[in-house]
């Protein structure tokens, strides 16, 4: 039974029993406490907590899930995976244990011919929480499971939560006995390899607090209603129903693994190391494709870091399989899209975008491997020079954070050099970085407020109505006030506050559009609003400061936005839509929006592309967009169903979440996008769009910055004045300026090269004099010389080599030249063959000089270079070298 059929049977079974089938949510979690969706119940968490009223009493879903805690174990075992799918049925205060357990048993044991999974009843075992007599009784007396096949377990095994504060409860799991060939008898408590968990029934009835581990957290109290959250791992079910040993051999994973083996000329099942690498590639390709499809882009923080890490681990393992510099990620991504498209059809529509992102990351990382290897070699040399056995964690972190070098590769290469790596130091720095990124992301949305406090605000306010499409001012009620994250009844002048209203004309930051600013006035207070956020769907928080008076909960208020700011931002947002359409027309549909920021008079637009956009394309897009402005096309917004929007060809932006009903913004027949932002009434109101330029902001992502409206006009006006000034100074017409400036630059470069040649000749002219004035130290000709300030490091090196070459081959010679090219001293040492036979080494002597200069350096025995930070110590450095030469020769 294929994976897609398993999912269809599960959802159909529960739909027939009154459950609403809910499509998988994006892997990008709305919950600010989570980086990515890590459990099937995450999209329903607000319903369990009572923060939102569920639109249905029971639901079923096949949810995409990412878990990265065990990412280093992926491939090493056949049980760990970073991406999987969780089939689940949910009750929100509707039914509880007495129905959930029989439902699970019925679906598992019903014959395949009748729509079930056909498990033999005598091979199924159940576990219950140690004191859950009710679940034990249902299994034994209602379902008919023999008492000896029902086992009690403690909190670590049969009590479930997401690992963070939130809903939790005891659970009852169902296990399938794979037979004695897989392990010893005795049920799940004896051997979880033989007895494989297939279904977990969680009875959501408590709320947990913060704490570590599976059983080291407090229970804060009861949830508003007793609910059910069940989870069945689709991949694990597929392994059993397809008769294979593990999740890497099921249909949707093995096809990727097999293609990777074919491309790298490997064979699965023959070599342990190759098997590990193939499993890593298969798992990480599935995870990577699904993350990119949900709008995540590779980066060095947050969920982008998770994606980058997995893609780079896949690339690294392909190299270990023998891929070398060959690029196989495109082909493997195509295979992944093909095998997963039956369950997620949008992957085919998004294929161009997915390929662009993954191909670019592969190209970038292959370059990183080359650069990182050189940096690694230098770090190893420095570590060995100090005689240390361990590469510092800070250097491993720098390799990872700055150069994208994966830690597992650093560990492997260090071992080859006989070194260890300070993994604890590396992990500490990594955790600090991740915590900062996660805290920054959460703070942006929630400020200082506890999430539970915001949940109470949402309960109190209900869904906050946004009035800003039609109104710029509105009469509202103050529902809640927060100071330093705590709910208060009043706040006086000078207090920084967060205000919740029952409705608002203020646009909360989202979809790339900056928030509105403005004021909230009550009978006795004025609040200046500087930021507006929506930490939860339906909740809007206004942040600002009480300018005067006292703001109180329950008062009537007048909310008024800054109209000019709103108009300027709306112009930028509409311009972004037009530029998006323009780039798609010019570069193809793979030029998908990957982010934007719409601010007053200025916007930036990020999109996927394989390389730099030619200036001619930028000009063409700019011309096309401004032609749309001249035509003054009407901007029209309306709501429709998501399916209807897709059939109309409306652009949906990667990373955005959409409900069943969506808002479409059209600019004539030119642009049509799903968008919740504010816009102008017609394209002519933009006035003018001026593209400033484009640049790379990451692998496969380009950024265009542009001005709109009066800001664009002022920019062009300044440009015109500047051109007029240049024309006057150069005595040339405007159209002649490029040629005139090019001629001046060419002559200037020629003059600079000539000056450099003369300076170099002047420096080298003293070579003969220096050789003739060499001092004899124990039979070695020694030259120490300070060159004039400003002499380049390259000329210092040339001079040292020139002087060395003036001594006959049988005469030992040691030359040390120092100078200050800019503001930092440089020293170069050169030794001839005869000098090296006397024990003189340029690298060691440069180290002596550099130490005196307050720096470091080294190199080969024949020539070396170093530097420092103390130009005034050059005399001492040269003296230290002479002393070191005397010691060596004596």
Q: Are 268 and 258 in contact (CB under 8 A)?
A: yes
Bridge partner residues of 482 (DSSP)? 487, 498
- Sign of the Cα torsion 442, 447, 448, 453 reads negative
Give the burial class of 411: count Cβ atoms within 10 A of its Cβ; 0-12 exposed, 13-18 middle, 19 or more buried.
middle
| Triad 862, 868, 872: Cα angle to 5° | 115
What is the DSSP pairing of strand 420-421 with strand 525-533?
unpaired
CA 671 – CA 581 distance, rounded (Å): 6
Q: Are 669 and 652 in contact (CB under 8 A)?
A: no
DSSP conformation class of 140 = I
Quick one: which of 232, 227, 287 has its CA closest to 44? 227
Taking each helix axis from N to C end, the angle separating 393-403 and 351-385, rounded to the nearest 10 degrees, works out to: 150
- Three-class DSSP category at 828: strand
Binding-site residue positions for Zn(2+):
573, 577, 675, 679
What is the DSSP pairing of strand 150-153 with strand 701-708?
unpaired
CA 3 – CA 28 distance, rounded (Å): 23
- Three-class DSSP category at 766: coil
DSSP conformation class of 36 = B
- HEC profile for 503-531? EECCCCCECCECCCCEEEEECCEEEEEEE
- Three-class DSSP category at 25: coil
Tokens of residue 90, six digits: 């949910």
CA 203 – CA 90 distance, rounded (Å): 10
Binding-site residue positions:
573, 577, 675, 679
**C-alpha distance from residue 157 to each of 130, 140, 197, 350, 390 (Å):** 10, 20, 11, 40, 39
Bridge partner residues of 551 (DSSP)? 491
Q: Are 352 and 334 in contact (CB under 8 A)?
A: no
| First-last CA distance in the chain | 84
The b/e string for 24-46 (b: 16+ C-beta within 10 A; e otherwise) is bbbbbbbbbebbbbbbbbbbbbb
CA 671 – CA 580 distance, rounded (Å): 9
Give the burial class of 502: count Cβ atoms within 10 A of its Cβ; 0-12 exposed, 13-18 middle, 19 or more buried.
middle
Tokens of residue 244, six digits: 């294979």
Tokens of residue 24, six digits: 């998988």
Tokens of residue 542, six digits: 């206004």
Q: Which helix (H) or strand (E) holds 48?
A: helix 45-49
Q: Are 82 and 310 in contact (CB under 8 A)?
A: yes
Taking each helix axis from N to C end, the angle separating 737-764 and 793-805, rounded to the nearest 10 degrees, works out to: 40
Residue listed under structure tokens 């992502």: 701
Q: Beta-strand (E) ranges in 23-117?
A: 58-66, 83-91
Helix, strand, coil shares, percent, the chain, to 5: 45, 25, 30
In sequence order, the 6+-apart residues with CB closer than 8 A to the CB of 804 are: 813, 815, 830, 831, 832
Tokens of residue 556, six digits: 């009537």
CA 266 – CA 214 distance, rounded (Å): 40
Q: Are 520 and 500 in contact (CB under 8 A)?
A: no
User: How many Cα atoms sit within 13 Å of 460 on the Cβ side?
Assistant: 18
Phi, psi of 668 (to 5 degrees): 55, -140
């Amino acid at each position: 039974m294929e994976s897609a059929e398993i999912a269809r049977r599960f959802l159909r079974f529960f739909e027939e029993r009154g459950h609403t089938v809910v499509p998988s949510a994006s892997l990008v979690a709305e919950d600010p406490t989570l980086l990515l969706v890590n459990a099937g119940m995450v999209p329903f968490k607000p319903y369990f907590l009572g923060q939102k009223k569920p639109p249905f009493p029971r639901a079923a879903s096949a949810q995409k899930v990412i878990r990265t805690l065990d990412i280093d174990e992926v491939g090493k075992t056949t049980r760990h995976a970073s991406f999987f799918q969780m089939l689940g049925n949910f009750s929100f205060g509707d039914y509880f244990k007495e129905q959930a357990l029989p439902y699970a048993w019925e679906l598992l044991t019903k014959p395949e011919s009748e729509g079930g999974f056909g498990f033999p009843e005598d091979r199924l075992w159940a576990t219950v929480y140690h004191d859950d007599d009710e679940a034990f009784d249902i299994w034994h007396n209602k379902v008919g499971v023999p008492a000896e096949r029902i086992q009690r377990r403690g909190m670590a095994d049969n009590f479930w939560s997401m690992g963070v504060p939130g809903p939790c409860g005891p659970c009852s799991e169902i296990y399938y006995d794979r037979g004695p060939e897989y392990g010893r008898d005795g049920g799940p408590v004896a051997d979880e390899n033989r007895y494989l968990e297939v279904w977990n029934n969680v009875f959501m009835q408590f709320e947990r607090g913060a704490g570590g581990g599976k059983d080291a957290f407090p229970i804060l109290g009861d949830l508003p209603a007793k609910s059910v959250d069940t989870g069945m791992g689709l991949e694990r079910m597929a392994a059993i129903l397809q008769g294979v040993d593990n999740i890497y051999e099921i249909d949707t994973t093995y096809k990727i693994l097999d293609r990777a083996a074919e491309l790298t000329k490997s064979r699965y099942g023959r070599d342990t190391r190759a098997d590990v690498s193939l499993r890593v590639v298969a798992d990480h390709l599935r995870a990577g494709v699904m993350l990119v499809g949900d709008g995540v882009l590779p980066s060095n923080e947050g969920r982008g870091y998770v994606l980058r890490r997995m893609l780079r681990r896949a690339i690294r393992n392909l190299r270990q399989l023998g891929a070398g510099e060959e690029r196989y990620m495109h082909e493997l991504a195509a295979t992944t899209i093909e095998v997963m498209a039956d369950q997620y059809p949008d992957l085919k529509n998004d294929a161009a975008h997915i390929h662009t992102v993954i191909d670019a990351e592969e190209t970038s990382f292959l370059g990183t491997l080359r650069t990182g290897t050189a940096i690694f070699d230098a770090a190893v040399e420095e570590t060995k020079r100090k005689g240390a056995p361990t590469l510092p964690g800070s250097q491993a972190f720098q390799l990872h954070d700055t150069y994208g070098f994966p830690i597992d590769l650093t560990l492997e290469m260090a071992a080859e050099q006989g070194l260890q790596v300070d993994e604890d130091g590396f992990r500490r720095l990594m955790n600090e970085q991740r915590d900062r990124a996660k805290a920054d992301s959460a703070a942006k949305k929630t400020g200082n407020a506890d999430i539970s406090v915001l949940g109470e605000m949402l309960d109190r306010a209900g869904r906050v109505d946004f009035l800003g499409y039609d109104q710029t001012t509105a009469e509202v009620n103050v529902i809640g006030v927060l100071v330093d994250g705590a709910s208060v009844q009043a706040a006086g002048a000078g207090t920084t506050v967060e205000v919740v209203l029952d409705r608002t004309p203020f646009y909360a930051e989202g979809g790339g559009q900056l928030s509105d600013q403005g004021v909230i006035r009550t009978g006795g207070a004025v609040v200046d609003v500087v930021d507006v956020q929506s930490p939860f769907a339906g909740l809007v928080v206004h942040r600002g400061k009480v300018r005067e008076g006292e703001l109180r909960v329950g008062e009537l208020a007048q909310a008024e936005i800054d109209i000019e700011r709103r108009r300027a931002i709306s112009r930028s947002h509409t311009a972004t839509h037009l530029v998006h359409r323009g780039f798609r027309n010019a570069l193809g549909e793979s030029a998908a929006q990957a982010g934007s920021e719409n601010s007053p008079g200025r916007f930036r637009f990020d999109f996927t592309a394989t390389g730099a956009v030619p200036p001619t394309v930028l000009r063409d897009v700019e011309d096309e967009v401004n032609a749309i402005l001249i035509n003054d096309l009407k901007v029209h917004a309306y709501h429709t169903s998501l399916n209807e929007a897709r059939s109309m060809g409306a652009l949906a932006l990667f990373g955005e979440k959409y409900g069943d009903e969506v808002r479409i913004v059209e600019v004539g027949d030119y642009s049509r996008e799903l968008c919740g932002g504010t816009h102008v009434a017609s394209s002519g109101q933009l006035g003018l769009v001026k593209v400033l330029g484009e640049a790379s902001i990451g692998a496969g992502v380009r950024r265009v910055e542009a001005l709109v409206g009066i800001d664009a006009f002022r920019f062009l006006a300044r440009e015109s004045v500047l051109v007029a000034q240049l024309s006057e100074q150069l005595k040339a017409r405007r159209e002649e300026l490029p040629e005139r400036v090019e001629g001046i630059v060419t002559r200037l470069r020629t003059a600079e090269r000539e000056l450099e040649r003369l300076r170099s000749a002047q420096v080298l002219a003293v070579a003969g004099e220096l050789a003739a004035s060499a001092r004899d130290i124990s039979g070695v000709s020694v030259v120490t010389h300070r060159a004039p300030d400003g002499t380049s490091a390259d000329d210092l090196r040339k001079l040292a080599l020139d002087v060395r070459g003036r001594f006959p081959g049988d005469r030992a010679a040691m030359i040390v030249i120092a100078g200050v090219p800019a503001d930092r001293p440089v020293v170069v040492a050169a030794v001839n063959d005869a000098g090296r036979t006397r024990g003189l080494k340029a690298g060691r002597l440069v180290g002596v000089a550099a130490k005196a200069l307050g720096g470091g350096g080294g190199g080969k025995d024949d020539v070396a270079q170093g530097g420092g930070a103390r130009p005034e110590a050059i005399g001492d450095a040269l003296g230290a070298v002479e002393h070191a030469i005397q010691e060596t020769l004596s």
